[in-house]
Amino acid sequence: MAEDLHIINGTKKEQYEALIPQIKGLLVGETDLVANLANVAAALKEQFHWWWIGFYLVKKDELVLGPFQGPVACTRIRKGRGVCGSSWEQARTLIVPDVEKFPGHIACSSASRSEIVVPLLHDGEVWGVLDADSELLDHYDETDQYYLEMIVALLQP
């Protein structure tokens, strides 16, 4: 596939449904995990213009920053800490409408106002998380959860 995305307008659902086949095209035949994570982060950033989007990968007892798009970020997060560490610990997607109200939120950027974190699973084990931050309150919802979970299912270590 060409490395250019076809960015569309429309409902959130329409945008995801146009983007997913393009992401699949980027992943076909590419076996390098870092390259695939980088392209997925870039595709999501280009389509949705989120403040920050990227991956944290499980390395021993912490999440370590992986490919991302946006301003510099926290490098390491312990299990159970913040939204990312909590998603890892609970092995489930977390949608946070207002990060200021999330107990133990890690403020990598004061501009971040809402967040969604989706665990990357393989054989029932979390091997990383997809983290998206918005500068808007209550930005993410069940539509994002549904499609982001579909996208991360395409990624395997």
Separation of alpha carbons 31 and 58, rounded Å: 19
Number of domains in the chain: 1
For the cut 70, the answer to whether the pLDDT of residue 123 exceeds it is: yes
pLDDT tens per residue, range 94-118: 999 999 888 776 767 678 889 999 9
Query: Alpha carbon of 93 to those of 14, 52, 88, 148: distances in Å?
Result: 22, 17, 9, 9
Whether residue 1 lies inside any domain: the answer is no
- Tell me if 59 is assigned to some domain: yes
Range of the domain at 98: 12-153
What pTM, to 2 d.p., does this model score? 0.94
Residue 4 lies in a domain: no
In a domain, 134, yes or no: yes
DSSP 55: E
For residue 143, the domain's CATH number is 3.30.450.40
